[in-house]
Chain A
Amino acid sequence: MSLMENNMSIQADLERFPTRLHEDWRYFRMKKDELKKILDKGQLPQSGSRASFADAALRHPESASRKEAEALFRHNAFRFQEDTFSGLVQDYATPDILVLQGTSEVPEIVIATEKGREVHPADVRILLNPGVTAELTVQVDAAVADSFISAEIRVYIPENASLKLNLSSSAAEGAFAMVRTRVRLAENAKLLFSNLQAPAGHVRSEAHFDLSGKDAGLKLHQAVIAGGSAINDTVLKAIHSAPKTTSDMHTITYAAGKSRSSLNGLIHVKPGSEDVGAYQQAKNYILSPKAFSVGYPQLEIENQNVSCSHGTTMHSFDENQLFYLNARGIPSEQAKRMILKGNLDYFFRRMNEPQKKQFLKKSYAIIDALSI
């Protein structure tokens, strides 16, 4: 029996969603036939997600508090839209609830495919205790051609807790990764979200931040490096439903080769959310005549006491910058790579050093392989 037989038709799903108000599926949709093929003949993985950490850093909740944790994640803020991808997770993945303990160790969760035709659904739910400061790295990698990952990551950050979440998503050529993240922030909760998307194949990443507690704050830094014939669709939503919440989202996209990249961003300030500060910035480097980039940053503001803004730039290299480096004896191609790497170094400056090094190492390797 096909894995997909009990699920909705992927074809119908992708036809239905492209005109939704705040997002679009334009590039992911272009590959729907390939995706359907994988899903039709796909097989579930032998092993589940791998997690590397000491028990002291990340634990399953005690059986007494497990029900409480499950109830917490039933909140509307953690509900994903119903479609093939969430259906797959619901039917075939076991929810993995983990509690971050706030030790100095940074746990790492790896969700990866290991062979062709593997269809890997994953359901990860992360909790912190109030007042805890913690860091977590999640790697989603559809590492083999013709494989597919549908990952749902839910994170609840309670009062006065603070989390650094490092997410890295990639897909090999011909592979697909669908990464959906939903984070709910309670009063005075803080999140620093560092996200690296480096598809050689196709990645769609949806991140939804529900700032529902007073003084909750989000800082997001997302870098997309797409080369070859990669496809990258990103949806970022910051929903402010409490006073004095802040969101500060920065994205940088490098589109090289024949890659296609789209960014749908939304800042929504709900009525009654006084003194909200929200900012979104998107920088796009279009590095080849055949690379496409689409930006769709949106604001929906239903309260007057706000200070919200967004800025987008789309361009190639700054000639002055190149001239400066050329004049110092650095050849153009090297100068260009230097600029791209330098941008990222600045971009991920708020991460802790070991994790930042890990991100940059991965990014630099991809930048070195880009044809510029």
Chain B
Amino acid sequence: MKDNFTTINEDYKYGFSNPEDYLYKAPAGLNEDVVRAISAMKHEPEWMLEFRLKSYKKFMEMPMPWWGNQEIINAIDFSKIHYFVKAKGGTTWDDVPTDIKDTFEKLGIPEAERKFLGGVTAQYESEVVYHSMKKEFADQGIVFLDMDSALKEYPELVKRYFGTVIPFTDNKFAALNSAVWSGGSFIYVPKGTRVDTPLQAYFRINAKNMGQFERTLIIADEASDVHYIEGCTAPSYSADSLHAAVVELVALDGAKIRYSTIQNWSNNVLNLVTKRAAAYRNAVVEWVDGNIGSKLTMKYPAVLLKGEGAHGEILTVAMAGNGQHQDSGAKVFHLASNTTSRIISKSISKGKGRASYRGWVKTIPGAENCVSDVRCDALMFGDESRSDTYPRMEIYEPSTKLTHEATVSRVQDDQLFYLMNRGLSETEASSLIVNGFLEPFTKELPMEYAVELNRLVALEMDGSIG
């Protein structure tokens, strides 16, 4: 049996980096001039500049969150971060510069696009460098653009929904994103339209001390249906990078949005993301959120159930290896009657890793007959690992039915015995058990992602028992 763990950084296949060759790289640090410069470079309308400046002011005023890993977040030096880095890009795959193209080839993006995606966006540093969508979807009126282009091409639509689900006053990192956001995806699915194959975005940080602040807004009009997938990677530098995205989903009456994330940042990225959805009458929002990489993740996908009959579902998985803290969870507010929600959270902590679940379910007075089910399971490997559960339940309505359950344990000896008895090695047996543990999550992913995730788990579990 191995003594040491295989950390994701040792075998992190996306840890390569390219030489830094940019059209523009803002100097490190944040001030009003940087905010104005970003807005000017993007030729934004006046309202957006005002929004950015207001947000910048709020960011400077707001305190750090009092929860989460205080040691890491209070050590962030905002003056050392580059808030905007513009890479060269292209409209067709051939136009994309070779080094960036190589990066995405290595990540398998074009291959995935050909095989099973309806559209793809690739963001390198602060802006989108490649974007495409299948013609049949474009013909149906589906809009899938990078956020910067959307602001130019659909200014009214963007203005109507931008910042409505997550106001810039929400938290310090949402304020920061609102001030310096760049890139991200914009999706609009017209009434009654169904997008059969998933749309994907891929986010890549390459530069050192880089801050990536993409902003994603998805609007699913009445009775429409869309599945969006995002993946994230970065090189393994010793200096930390900051990823503070804001993702807003709007599911109008009867619409369905599924948002899947496989976050596999390298171990030097602080992943502090605000994700929230508003679900109107009979709408369904599903967050499928996998956190494998990063040094610290603080991310709690939320659903505001605003219309009667709306349903929110959040599936989160976190794997915390040596030196990692996955502080993830879920938040559901039942703001209308007959709304339902389900939260399933699975976490694995190993070596010196720490996995925390932080959740919040709330029903307001008058929101009758709401049902919510929360389940958190944690597996632990190693004497120095740590697992925390911080759920919060606020019920202000007597007709609510809420159940919450959480368990923490290690892999049971009898399970290992059973499998090893039948000829599996300890690593194979533990991988199998972990894959079974994660099954509610992987079964919700497209096949290719599920296979990749299982492989990652096998890699992570190598030598973890003991």
A residues sitting closer than 8 Å to B (CB atoms) are: 19, 21, 271-272, 284, 286-316
Q: Which residues of A contact B396 (CB under 8 A)?
A: 292
| Contacting pair B67 A312 (CB below 8 A) | no
| Contacting pair A301 B388 (CB below 8 A) | yes
Closest to A296 in B: B392
| One of B383, B385, B391, B400 near A298 (C-beta < 8 A) | B391
Q: Which residues of A contact B391 (CB under 8 A)?
A: 295-298, 312
| Contacting pair A312 B402 (CB below 8 A) | yes
| Contacting pair A308 B408 (CB below 8 A) | yes
What's the least CB distance linking A155 to chain B, in Å? 28
- B395 interface residue (CB < 8 Å to A): yes
Known: A298-B390, A301-B386, A304-B381. A284 touches B395 (CB 8 A): yes
What's the least CB distance linking B335 to chain A, in Å? 16
| One of A298, A306, A312 near B410 (C-beta < 8 A) | A306
| Contacting pair B405 A311 (CB below 8 A) | yes
**Complex CA distance for A310 and B389, rounded to whole angstroms:** 10
Q: Which residues of A contact B382 (CB under 8 A)?
A: 304
What's the least CB distance linking A53 to chain B, in Å? 41
What's the least CB distance linking A26 to chain B, in Å? 10
Known: A286-B400, A287-B398, A316-B398. A304 touches B383 (CB 8 A): yes
What's the least CB distance linking A20 to chain B, in Å? 9
CB contacts between A and B, total, < 8 Å: 115
Known: A292-B394, A292-B396, A315-B400. A308 touches B386 (CB 8 A): no
Report B83-139 residues with CB < 8 Å from chain A CB.
Answer: none
**Complex CA distance for A272 and B386, rounded to whole angstroms:** 12
| Contacting pair B405 A289 (CB below 8 A) | no
Q: Which residues of A contact B47 (CB under 8 A)?
A: none
Q: Which residues of A contact B390 (CB under 8 A)?
A: 296, 298
| One of A293, A301, A314, A315 near B380 (C-beta < 8 A) | A301
Q: Which residues of B contact A307 (CB under 8 A)?
A: 408-409
Q: Which residues of B contact A294 (CB under 8 A)?
A: 392-395
| Contacting pair B395 A293 (CB below 8 A) | yes
What's the least CB distance linking A284 to chain B, in Å? 7
Q: Which residues of A contact B378 (CB under 8 A)?
A: 299, 301
**Complex CA distance for A313 and B387, rounded to whole angstroms:** 22
| Contacting pair B385 A304 (CB below 8 A) | yes
Q: Which residues of A contact B395 (CB under 8 A)?
A: 284, 286, 292-295, 314
Question: Which residue among A303, A313, A314 has the maximum number of chain B CB atoms within 10 Å of its CB?
Answer: A314
- B57 interface residue (CB < 8 Å to A): no
Q: Which residues of B contact A316 (CB under 8 A)?
A: 398-400
What's the least CB distance linking B460 to chain A, in Å? 16
**Complex CA distance for A316 and B382, rounded to whole angstroms:** 42
**Complex CA distance for A293 and B393, rounded to whole angstroms:** 8
Known: A294-B392, A312-B393, A316-B398. A304 touches B410 (CB 8 A): yes
Interface of B is mostly: strand
What's the least CB distance linking B403 to chain A, in Å? 5
B residues sitting closer than 8 Å to A (CB atoms) are: 66-67, 365-366, 378, 380-410
What's the least CB distance linking A78 to chain B, in Å? 26
| Contacting pair B408 A295 (CB below 8 A) | no
| One of A284, A289, A299, A304 near B389 (C-beta < 8 A) | A299
- Of the A-B pairs whose beta carbons lie under 8 Å apart in the complex, a sample of 9, sorted by A's number, is A292-B394, A299-B408, A301-B378, A302-B385, A302-B386, A304-B385, A308-B409, A312-B402, A313-B403
Q: Which residues of A contact B393 (CB under 8 A)?
A: 294-296, 312, 314
Closest to B387 in A: A301
What's the least CB distance linking A250 to chain B, in Å? 15
Closest to A315 in B: B401
What's the least CB distance linking A234 to chain B, in Å? 14
**Complex CA distance for A303 and B365, rounded to whole angstroms:** 40
**Complex CA distance for A311 and B374, rounded to whole angstroms:** 9
What's the least CB distance linking B137 to chain A, in Å? 43
What's the least CB distance linking B459 to chain A, in Å? 20
What's the least CB distance linking A296 to chain B, in Å? 5
Q: Which residues of A contact B400 (CB under 8 A)?
A: 286, 314-316
| One of B386, B398, B403, B404 near A291 (C-beta < 8 A) | B398
| Contacting pair B408 A301 (CB below 8 A) | yes
Closest to B381 in A: A304
**Complex CA distance for A312 and B409, rounded to whole angstroms:** 19
Q: Which residues of A contact B366 (CB under 8 A)?
A: 289
**Complex CA distance for A310 and B406, rounded to whole angstroms:** 5
| Contacting pair A289 B388 (CB below 8 A) | no
**Complex CA distance for A293 and B385, rounded to whole angstroms:** 33
Q: Other CB < 8 Å A-B pairs besides A295-B392, A298-B391, A301-B408, 4 of them?
A: A284-B395, A287-B398, A299-B389, A315-B402
**Complex CA distance for A291 and B392, rounded to whole angstroms:** 17
| One of A290, A309, A314, A315 near B408 (C-beta < 8 A) | A309
What's the least CB distance linking A269 to chain B, in Å? 8
| Contacting pair B409 A19 (CB below 8 A) | no
Known: A291-B398, A312-B402, A316-B398. A298 touches B388 (CB 8 A): yes
Q: Which residues of B contact A286 (CB under 8 A)?
A: 395, 397-398, 400
Known: A286-B397, A292-B394, A303-B383. A314 touches B402 (CB 8 A): yes
Question: Which residue among A305, A307, A312, A313 has the maximum number of chain B CB atoms within 10 Å of its CB?
Answer: A312
**Complex CA distance for A301 and B378, rounded to whole angstroms:** 10
What's the least CB distance linking A4 to chain B, in Å? 28
| Contacting pair A310 B405 (CB below 8 A) | yes
What's the least CB distance linking B433 to chain A, in Å? 14
Q: Which residues of B contact A284 (CB under 8 A)?
A: 395
Closest to A281 in B: B405
What's the least CB distance linking A239 to chain B, in Å? 14
**Complex CA distance for A251 and B228, rounded to whole angstroms:** 42
Q: Which residues of A contact B401 (CB under 8 A)?
A: 314-315
What's the least CB distance linking A359 to chain B, in Å? 26
| Contacting pair A289 B383 (CB below 8 A) | no
Q: Which residues of B contact A291 (CB under 8 A)?
A: 398
Known: A290-B365, A296-B393, A303-B383. A309 touches B406 (CB 8 A): yes
| Contacting pair A312 B403 (CB below 8 A) | yes
